[in-house]
Structure 1
Amino acid sequence: MPGVHVQQDIELAHQRSAAFGLGRQDSPDYACLGKADLQLVLEQNRLLFRHAAPVMDSLYEQIVNTHHMVVLTDARGLILHTLGDADFLEKADQVALNPGVAWSEQSKGTNAIGTAIAAQTPTVIHADQHYLSANQFLTCSASPIFDAQGQVIGVLDVTGDQHHFHRHTMALVRMSAQMIENQMFSAAFQNAVKIHFHSRPEFLGTLMEGIACFTSDGRFQAASRSALFQLGLPVSALQTHTFSSLFGMPLSSCLDLCRRSGSSLITLALPNGMKVYAQCREHPGTLLSAGVNLAADHTVTERTEQPAAQGLSLQQLAGGDALVAALINGLRKVIDRGIPLMITGETGTGKDWLAQAIHQASARRHGPFVAVNCAAIPESLIESELFGYEEGAFTGARKKGSRGKLLQANGGTLFLDEIGDMPLHLQARLLRVLQERSVTPLGGAGSTKVDIDIICATNQPLKQMIATKQFREDLYYRLNGYVLKLPALRDRSDLTQMVSRILQQEDAAHMHIHPALMQVFERHPWPGNIRQLSNLLRTALRLAEGESEIGLQHCPQDFLEDVVPTSIEPVAQADLTPPLPASASDTGLAAQELGLIQQALAQCQGNVTAAARMLGISRNTIYRKLGRG
């Protein structure tokens, strides 16, 4: 059952809902902002959306095909953007979980988004905890997003069908919200002197580190939420401080110490007397200290700033798979021949990697490569993002206007990912650009010549969309000169090489994959393809830090539940790790489950409790599967 304090919070939220005049059986308010008003709100929240969109993409990749959706709202609970599984999006439409609809408590009663705003804390609202009966088929996990002044500026939420509740969702949402906060925080104080600190050196460079910003003369500017927690002071109190009053030395002395320390971290004392390990960044991206030698017999791996990852070449992409090698060989013959390129394949097969590799192999390699995900930009913003706009083109437009992606790509390559999601009226405008080779921004009277190559990608059946009038036939044949169909990861023969390549990209070529885990990789269908494999390995590397081998115990719980299926019960259940379902009718699955259990026990040296924790199942399940209970 939910904890007492959680139940009390829900009861308070229900009392607020009743005070707003809502009744349990009332029909929800489905009112939606008009297109112009929604565009204004999106413009007002452009900074939030810019930093949230890639995090939402990453979060959705971790929950794809689980009957859920990712939602971003503004500070009032007005939905700005959503990503979700098609089957659940249809259900979401029934309760207006759509951009332009308000999900405050005043509008929808107790719900995770509105209640997270009201309570200013991460909130799970499951099934009948929703105030309105119409919303009780949902399970929702929401976390407020705070700005540098501690004000709520938005909410990140994952909503799904109540029968598909997952106990790890809230943790994913909270981490994702903190990523957005940290990125916005860094962007807001690019010219500040930043002190990154934590009482444990291994947490530097992670979401747990604190970041405090100061002017060059040592005046306090802002602190991240983790920094506020460690400093033990509210923003209002910190605004009266300087670096010297907080850390007991002038800022100039700290910077000198950082420079002299070379590759070592420095230690600072907080006002409460706690000692922390710190790094200093005096200018954007400049790391003044890194790594630490804590004691003669305990050395922490040196941390240094890494340059931005370079894109893979066509040869590297070919790997050891015959299908991909043949595709690359054909591609080499058409690059720089004025032939439009269309990349197709399932989500996550590496279409963006291939587009970057094509650009690097082309005569335009020294020009810009500009990528636009047509599915990730709200429809009301995509026109201004692509074509740009003049000052005063619409209410809320920025002074001096904005150059669109088409002009930004001038002299280089524009990659239009998920081209099938481009609205029809913009398809017509894009066709005109391709024909006339000029761009007219919104609100502009004149056009500007543009010289670009366009590469498109899609996982949708464009020919079927043409038949249903969802995609323009004339644009299709303008873009569809040479089709490059990337195979799914499960159909490739170079999985081992793919794993090695990803580890190299993560600067972890020294890491090994346990043979038992590689067997699991080879049997897994990889519905998320290369992107899923890449995300999994990145997570596993963090969990295996300090070790030389990645095993089952380092894999995320949701992956283990895919390879060893479990039944997820609602949050109200006392035991949130139920046993594996019976599978006597499927001997292949039973053998796989037994093999994984035996491998986990071997890695845990026979410790059943540790093996159960690794696999996310109960000890009784292990005994039952092994025939001992």
Structure 2
Amino acid sequence: MPPAGSHVDVIGQAHARSLQVGLRASETPDFQPLPSAALRELVERNRSLYTHALPVMETLHAQIVDTQSMVLLTNQHGVILHSLGDSDFIEKANRVALCPGVSWSETDRGTNAIGTALVDSEPTIVHADEHFLRANHFITCSCAPIADPFGRTIGALDVSGDARGFHKHTLALVRMSAQMIENHLFANQFADAVRIRFHARAEFVGTLFEGLAAFAPDGMLLSANRSALFQLGGQLAALARQPFAALFGMPFAALLQHVARTPSECITLTLPSGVKVIARGEFAGARPGPVSVASATSVAAPPPSTAAARRADAITLASLDTGDARMAAVLRRVDKVRGRDIPMLVLGKTGTGKEWLARAIHEDSPRRSAPFVAVNCASLPDTLIEAELFGYEDGAFTGAKKRGGTGKIVQADGGTLFLDEIGDMPLAQQVRLMRVLQERVVVPLGGTRAIPVDLRVICATHRNLREMIAAGTFREDLYYRINGLVVTLPALAERTDLAVLVARILERQRLADATEATPLRVSPGVFALFERCRWPGNLRQLTNVLRTAGVMAEGEAQIELEHLPDDFLHDCEAAPDGVHAAAGIAEAVAEAGASNVPPDATQDETPPRMQDWQASLIDSTLARHGGNVSAAARELGLARNTVYRHLRRREGG
């Protein structure tokens, strides 16, 4: 049975409200669902809630399947937007209009879990004859309100089922599921903020029960989820715009530096109550500029606001010319249209630097002082691309910002809009984008006023758009609108400027980290291994490998094989020409000056001879480390399993 005590008061007060609005327990009011078109429009207005709730609803339904019940999602007024349930119970539920398009507010249905939870803003159970209308006595309902990232109720999640199958744990499942939806909404709302995940117990960091707090670049609190507010001991209205240092006892700049150096490591912070919490920070979007703890106060200084803050390491066309002939040819073609708003299409495999090129084009154009806005069409759900690109008016989405949301196209007004992975844009949005490019105006979702825009559009993709046109998945008219100039970036494995790229990336990372501890070079052995790598992730992979290795090698003169991440070494195992990566690593060590390499081992040897040389190198390294497999593997840059396989082969032979 449902809990006693205060629950009785909740039901009693709800019944009193039902009587006050003129409902009679015996009546069965006419609850005709909204027409299909009106329901679709309502769902569209609640698109953000619907999108983030749907996968959670499916998971929740899987937990209660075959229990004569269903999962329901409503808007803030109690109108059901979506339902999932057992087919036999859905038939019973339809008899009392427990279905999409019907309002289950208290004023329409009397006391019920959905309506009462929305009135009280608290998770609620209404069981059997606790329902005001007798027609609903055969069901039991457990409902939890859903709040947006600013604490405003935007909907509710409910499980309703046959009253004979009531289970006291159902409400706990519903509450956790609602919290999951709220956390998803929080992460989406503050995609470009600095976020903190924290809890007094380390094992809860990264779970549903963690506190989430988002901070602006100046270190002021933007918002916090329910768990964070509970731990901080205050309401959002009182805590909003509080500095990070006042809430967590550490200068904001110090946190930023910690996250930049060791992004995966937790840190201990102190709440205003004196309670210690374990926290993990993350740069959710574009990371803040370099910070120095030595010059930091309790609140980090705001970033420079003028064009004078244009950094010395800005990406330009000249900075991308690093000596590769194919890349130089691309840059020459791009340079010919410098300052002209000719649309550009950048082709190339994933990670080849398409966004770098787009930023360089913007930086070397008359638009450089205006915004550069990048949108990855592949990273957004189909249902969110439209709002993200074109924006939305106030009320277009429940829980939206008071003045609506400015789309990326309008944000790029006067500057450059970069649409990465344009081949992943849904057809419906391709039509709207085509209209924007033709007419140079944008009409936000839910609006009627056309907003003029002046921008340059650069698109990029790794897909074959001509094949997509033939398959009917990409519009031909849009293709010819965006490909004024088409250039193709070479894969990293095809480039001849690897040494310059490595040096440039390390220098850029050192500037970003604002520390002299990051090495500015790699050892000859590491570079020899880099030359043999296929680099399936291209420049993005090289950048990530150097970022990790640079952190591991802080304070060292150069990056050595032991500083490279293990997964990179595994990626190199399928080396060209059938030569095992371990042979390449062995050569790398030889080139680094390993004295134990046989003098007759040359690069001209056949693979069998190479294997003999590799075996000799592993044996001598093991001997030097007293048979310690882990130490030998680290020096050679091999996985331990590779050394163990060598030992098994040697013992068997």
TM-score, normalised on structure 2? Answer: 0.53
3-state SS in 2 of match to 1:320: coil
- Measure how far apart 1:320 and its partner are: 1.0
SS at match of 1:383: helix
The aligned counterpart of 1:458 is 461
Partner of 1:281: 298
1:623 is aligned to 2:647: yes
Does the 8 Å contact 1:440/1:448 carry over to 2? yes
- Corresponding residue to 1:208 among 265, 277, 281: 265
2:250 aligned residue (196, 199, 212): 196
Aligned partner of residue 250 in structure 2, secondary structure: strand
Match of 2:48 in 1: 43
Q: How far apart are the structure 1 equivalents of 2:612 and 2:312?
A: 41
Cα displacement string for residues 337-388 of structure 1 (whole angstroms, at most 9, x for unaligned residues):
2321110000000000000000001111111100011111111011011111
CA apart distance, 1:543: 1.3
Matched, 1:610 2:634: no
- After superposition, where does 1:347-366 map in structure 2 within 5 Å? 347-366=350-369
How far apart, in 2, do the equivalents of 1:213 and 1:44 lie?
33
CA contact (8 A) 1:340 1:481 kept: yes
- Distance change >3 Å, CA 263–CA 487, structure 1 → 2: closer
Give me the whole-angstrom Cα distance separating, in 1, the residues matched to 2:275 and 2:391.
33
Aligned residue-pair number: 407
* Matched position secondary structure for 2:472: coil
Structure 2: which amino acid aligns with 1:608? V
Structure 1 range deviating more: 603-612 or 504-513: 603-612
The change in CA–CA distance for 1:176 and 1:550 in structure 2 (over 3 A counts) is farther
Question: Matches of 1:461 and 1:323 in 2, distance apart?
Answer: 20
Per-residue deviation, 1:204 = 4.1
| Displacement after TM superposition at 1:533 (Å) | 0.6
Deviations 1:401-434 (A, max 9, x none): 1111111000000000000111111111111111
Distance 1:541 1:461, change over 3 A: same
**Residue 527 (structure 1) aligns with:** 536
Cα pair distance change 1:468/1:308, threshold 3 Å: same
Structure 2 residue matching 1:549: 3-state secondary structure? coil
Q: 1:548 aligns with which of 553, 557, 571?
A: 557
**Residue 67 of structure 1: aligned partner:** none
Matched, 1:407 2:410: yes
Match of 2:497 in 1: 494
> What's the counterpart of residue 153 of structure 1?
183
Relative to 1, partners in 2 of residues 1:449 and 1:599: Cα closer, same or farther, differing over 3 Å? farther
* 1:451 counterpart SS class: coil
Matched position secondary structure for 1:560? helix
Unaligned runs of 5+ in 2: 1-38, 67-175, 187-203, 216-220, 224-239, 282-291, 304-308, 511-515, 576-581, 584-605
Instruction: Give the residue type in structure 1 aligned to 2:553.
Output: A
Structure 2 residue corresponding to 1:226, chosen from 250, 265, 279: 279
TM-score normalised per structure 1: 0.55
Correspondence list, 1:265-280, <5 A: none
Q: 1:201 to 1:450 in 2, by over 3 A?
A: closer
Cα deviation, residue 263, structure 1: 6.4
- After TM superposition, give the deviation of residue 467 of structure 1 in Å: 0.5
In structure 2, the partner of 1:536 is: 545
Superposition pairs of residues 160-559 of structure 1, within 5 angstroms? 184=214, 188=223, 191-194=242-245, 195-196=249-250, 204-205=258-259, 206=262, 207-210=264-267, 212=269, 219-220=272-273, 225-226=278-279, 281-283=298-300, 310-507=313-510, 510-559=519-568
DSSP 3-state at the match of 2:531:
helix
Deviation readout 1:29-87 (Å, 9 max, x if unpaired): xxxxx9879867762499xxxxxxxxxxxxxxxxxxxxxxxxxxx6x8x548xxxxxxx
The letter of the residue matching 2:243 is A
1:84 counterpart residue number: none
Residue 406 of structure 1 aligns to which amino acid in structure 2?
I
Structure 1 contact 368–410 (Cα < 8 Å) conserved: yes
Asked whether the 8 Å contact 2:393–2:446 carries over to 1, the reply is: yes
Deviation at 1:465, TM superposition (A): 0.5
Cα gap change, 1:456/1:213 in structure 2, threshold over 3 Å: closer, same or farther? farther
- Paired with 1:465 and 1:151, the residues of 2 have a C-alpha distance of 35
C-alpha change, 1:433 and 1:349, in structure 2 (3 Å) is: same
Change in CA separation of 1:396 and 1:204 when aligned onto 2, cut-off 3 Å: closer
Cα distance change, pair 424–565 in 1 and its aligned pair in 2 (3 A): closer
Contact residue 193 and residue 280 of structure 1 kept, 8 A: no
CA 1:408–1:593: 2 relative to 1, 3 Å: farther
Q: Deviations over 1:481-522 (max 9, x none)?
A: 111100000000011111111100111774331222211110
Contact 2:205 2:279 in 1 (8 A): no
Against the structure 1 CA distance between its residues 519 and 190, is the aligned structure 2 distance closer, same or farther, given a 3 Å change threshold? Answer: farther
- Matched with 2:596 is none
Q: Tell me, what secondary structure is at the counterpart of 1:102? A: helix
Structure 2 equivalent of residue 97 of structure 1: none
Structure 1, residues 97-131: CA drift from partner, whole Å, max 9, x if none?
xxx8436761689xxxxxxxxxxxxxxxxxxxxxx
Name the larger-Rg structure.
2
Query: Which amino acid letter does the alignment assign opposite residue 615 of structure 1?
Result: L
Matches of 2:388 and 2:412, distance apart in 1: 12
8 Å contact from structure 1 (residues 387, 439) kept in 2: yes
TM-fit CA distance, 1:611: 2.2
Cα deviation, 1:241-298, whole Å, max 9, x if unaligned, reads xxxxxxxxxxxxxxxxxxxxx9669xxxxxxxxxxxxx86325669xxxxxxxxxxxx
Structure 1 equivalent of residue 135 of structure 2? none
Does the CA contact (< 8 Å) of 1:210 and 1:223 recur in 2?
no
Q: Secondary structure at the match of 1:226?
A: strand
Tell me how far apart the structure 2 counterparts of residues 202 and 359 of structure 1 sit (CA, whole Å): 28
CA distance in 2, matches of 1:202, 1:418: 30
Matched AA of 2:462: N
Q: Name stretches of at least 5 consecutive residues in structure 1 with no aligned partner.
A: 1-33, 47-73, 81-99, 110-145, 157-173, 229-261, 266-278, 287-305, 567-578
The 1:348/1:309 distance shift into structure 2, 3 A limit, reads farther
CA distance in 2, matches of 1:592, 1:319: 35
Residue 102 of structure 1 is matched in structure 2 by 59
Distance 1:554 1:439, change over 3 A: same
Contact preservation (8 Å) 1:38, 1:380: no
Select the residue among 520, 542, 560 that pairs with 2:569.
560
How far apart in 2 are the matches of 1:534 and 1:482? Answer: 28
Q: CA RMSD in A?
A: 4.7
**Residue 588 of structure 2: aligned partner:** none
Amino acid across the alignment from 1:616: A
Show the counterpart of 1:122.
none
Q: Give the secondary structure class of the aligned counterpart of 2:459.
A: strand
Find the aligned partners of 1:37 and 1:221 in 2 and give their Cα distance. Answer: 46
Shift of 1:394: 3.7
2: CA distance, partners of 1:416 / 1:627: 57
Amino acid at match of 1:313: T
Deviations along 1:300-332, one digit per CA (max 9) or x if unpaired, are xxxxxx998943111111211011011101111
Tell me which amino acid in the other structure corresponds to 1:612: A
> How far off is 1:616 after superposition?
2.6
Q: Residue in 2 aligned with 1:164? A: none
Cα distance between partner residues in 2 of 1:36 and 1:461: 35
